[in-house]
Amino acid sequence: LKSQIQTLHKRFGDDQRLKPALDAADQLDHKMSEVEQQLIQVNMKGSEGNLAFPNTLNERFDTFSHTIDAGDTEPTKPQLDVFQLLSSQLEDQLKKWAQIK
């Protein structure tokens, strides 16, 4: 969708009649970007990019799953608490995404 919005700007950016539609598309892009930036690290350009930028929800879930998979016992109370925290944060982002759609 982002590339489609960029294409619209390239093709019709000078047409003042379409300015309201392009502005609405930009607002949609901004709302989507806010959710996207919470879910994934959009600034990472290489495999070691996560060293320069903060972890996002996707990376925290991935790290957490490896921690859980490493053990042969059921998850501990602190691990369950972390899962609840991450799940709650994900649910918040999914609600925001549903409002955008």
Q: Domain of 87? A: 2-100
What is the total count of domains within the chain? 1
**Burial class (CB within 10 angstroms; exposed 0-12, middle 13-18, buried 19+) of 56:** buried
Q: What is the pLDDT of residues 37-65, one digit of tens each?
A: 999 988 888 777 777 888 899 999 999 99
Q: What is the pLDDT of residues 1-10, one digit of tens each?
A: 889 999 999 9
pTM: 0.76
